[in-house]
Amino acid sequence: MLLKTEALTKNFGGLTALNKVDFEIQEGEIVAIIGPNGAGKSTFFNLISGYYPSCSGTISFMGKDMTRTPTHEFASRGIGRTFQTTNLFTDSTVLDNLIIGYRSKTKMGMLDAIFNTSRARRDEGASREKATEVLEFIGLTEVKGQPVGNISQEAAKRLAIGLALVTEPRLLLLDEPAAGVNHGETNELAKLIKKIQQTGTTVCLIEHKVQMVMNLAHRIMVLNYGSKIAEGTPKEISNNERVIEAYLGGAAHA
Amino acid sequence: MLDGMKKSNAKLIAYGVLSVVAIAFPFISPNRYYLTVVTLGFIYAIAVYGLNLIVGYLGQLSLAQAGFFGLGAYVSGLLSLKLHLSFWISLPMAAVVTTLVALLVGLISFRTRGHYFVIFTLCIGVIINLVIEKWDDLTGGVRGLIGIPRPTSIGPIDFISLESQYYLVLLFLSLTIFVMSRIASSLVGRTFKSIHNSEELAATLGINVMRNKLLAFGIAAFFTGIAGALFAGYIRFIGPDISNPHLTFELLLFLLIGGQATIAGPLVGTLIATGLTESLQFMQEYRMVVFGALLIIIVKFFPGGLVGAAMKLKTKIEKRMNKANKSEDALSKGENHAAKNRGFN
């Protein structure tokens, strides 16, 4: 398996945002995490991407423990992510965003920059090449010179995914990739996610658009009040009573 | 491709003209007073370039810079005055010591963010100022260091005349600008900018934020230390005042006027502001009224400073010219474009 969490827990003061969650992600699949608002989905993401330290429990990735690894090392170990609120370098162009995304793969330092060494030129070239390749993959070549502020919401979503892809992740974490885009664009994004999985990257996503999740995911985990209440194939989940109860409220039983 | 070549040619010409003016200045300067002012301006400009790296590119407002300037000046001054070391040893020593102190300060201060970082570095500046002022045995306290030797001559080249000192400072300024422009245009500079833009995103992309912050802070202090050492060798009398936080705010003013995160900004800002200071001497303390108003206008209407404003104007004009050029063949190309857009996936 690719990623494994055991009894993963996060408290914010007195509030338990995530309570002893055991979860596994297999290589090559698309898994989705769903649940009502405040269920702990984003917290779970923030823990497995190293954004927050966990309070207890363990995270292991490709057999290595990553529970105490600092944030910036997650990318080099092979975990890339996007944020719920589309997070981009707003001062730069589309291409420059992707170029800087490749920075952790390059080795040039200050002296290379000052003396413009062959390593500096090689790294700049490699970054540009990788950025161009990803640009093509996410279909934004047309707007590569545009400042990020000028592109559409859907293009920004694609770019955020591209930014994570530039780091060449084994596991890509997508936090609500289709939030705030219309139906047609959602389908296009779903296609892109499928394409990413087909190139060998494992994808784990949080999404509220149930239709998209049901079509896309091989497996789904459902969180509610910080705990895992169900896990299974889309079919199993859509028939699970606890899930229906969580989404429609206890009143559905009465 | 042709456009790019045109652009780099224009740049080369601009640099050439500037270099000729800078080299010819001692000959065209109407009197020695201007030469003194410009030399001093160049020294401050080197420190402002350091500040530009951390404030403009990295986006961390450090108020410890006068402390580093003073540190560089005192280390160089003490080494050449008390240990009779050559200027060519004391200057690099000043730069190294200042960098080491800055790295130590950075290790602690970069654990704080935003306002806390600003206040923390201000405190560091005040502490350095106090140490210099109170360590009477070493620094001479409020009396300062008097009679610091001139920069040591190299073979037949001495630094006695005002002109030769001007060229010495100009050499260091050119080196500073060269290094800064190399950094700014490289991946390293872009990394600093990305941290400025979003620390969280940079870290998520695998960028070691702490290490990059320390790097920028260290380089900034290195050049500030050099500026301090040049100051000591040029003025040849230094007092604790040169490490006073007042100077930090002056350097910051120069940077804001010129334009942060630009390569020309620090030099333009420093020269204009020092020129203005000198020409407003007759107003004495009241000239701060002029600076206050100027600063408010710049921060409010030209957040990119004078250079930023000029660059904006340039892109606007270029865009308009491009539009005029392209509007003719746009019609024929338009269809092509739309077809490509449809074939998105």
Pairs of residues, one from chain A and one from chain B, whose beta carbons lie less than 8 Å apart:
105
- Could you tell me if B214 lies within 8 Å of chain A, comparing CB atoms? no
Pairing between strand A219-224 and A202-206? unpaired
| ipTM for the predicted complex | 0.88
- pLDDT score of B1: 44
Cα nearest neighbour of B206 on chain A: A72
Q: In the predicted model, is pLDDT for residue A206 greater than 50?
A: yes
Nearest CB to A90 within list B191, B197, B206: B197
B286 confidence band (pLDDT: 50, 70, 90): confident
Residue B215 is assigned to a structural domain of this protein: yes
Structural domain harbouring A166:
3-88+155-252
Which CATH number characterizes residue A192's domain?
3.40.50.300
- Nearest CA to CA, how far is A232 from chain B (Å)? 29
Cβ distance B345 to A163 less than 8 Å, yes or no, reads no
- CB-based contact (8 Å) between A28 and chain B? no
Is residue A138 included in any domain, yes or no? no
Residue B50's CATH number: 1.10.3470
pLDDT digits (tens, 9 = 90+) for B42-96: 999 999 999 999 999 999 999 999 999 999 999 999 999 999 999 999 999 999 9
Given a cut of 90, is residue B292 above it in pLDDT? no
Cα A4 to Cα A204: distance, rounded to the nearest angstrom:
13
Cα separation, B217 vs B101, whole angstroms = 10
Q: What is the rounded CA–CA span in Å between residue A23 and residue A221? A: 8
pTM of the prediction? 0.88
How many distinct structural domains can be found in chain B?
A: 1
- For chain A, say whether B345 makes contact (Cβ under 8 Å): yes
A79, A90, A103, best to mutate vs chain B, most B CBs in 10 Å: A103
Whether B321 is covered by a domain: the verdict is no
Instruction: Find, among B70, B118, B51, the residue nearest to B252 by Cα.
Output: B51
Using CA atoms, how far apart are residues A192 and B344, in angstroms rounded to an integer? 11
Q: Looking at residue A86, what is its pLDDT?
A: 78
Which one of A42, A85, A114 makes the best mutation probe of the B interface by having the most chain B beta carbons within 10 Å?
A114
Contacts of B132 (CB under 8 A, 6+ apart): B70, B71, B74, B139, B240, B243
d(CA B68, CA A248): 63
Nearest CA in chain A to B186: A113
Q: What is the mean pLDDT of chain B?
A: 88
Of A103, A163, A166, the CB nearest to B191: A103
Does A122 reside within a domain? Answer: no
What is the C-alpha separation between B100 and B104, in angstroms, rounded? 6
Residue A99: is its pLDDT beyond 60?
yes
CA distance A84 to A30: 18
3-state secondary structure of A12: strand
Minimal Cβ distance to B187: which of A76, A123, A188: A123
Return residues 145-184 of B near A (CB < 8 Å): 179, 182-183
pLDDT band (50, 70, 90) for residue B5: low
Which amino acid type is present at position A158? R
Answer yes or no: is A150 within a domain.
no
| Residue B192: closest CA among B166, B215, B161 | B215
Distance (Å, whole) CA A42 – CA A176:
9
- The answer to whether residue A160 sits within a structural domain is yes
Which DSSP symbol is given to B263? S
Tokens 């992600």, residue located: A25
State how many domains chain A has.
1
Q: Chain A residue closest to B185 (CA)? A: A113
State how far the alpha carbon of A227 is from the alpha carbons of A13, A30, A44, in Å: 17, 21, 10
- Residue range(s) defining the domain that contains residue B72: 28-284
Closest residue in B to A46 (Cα) is B204
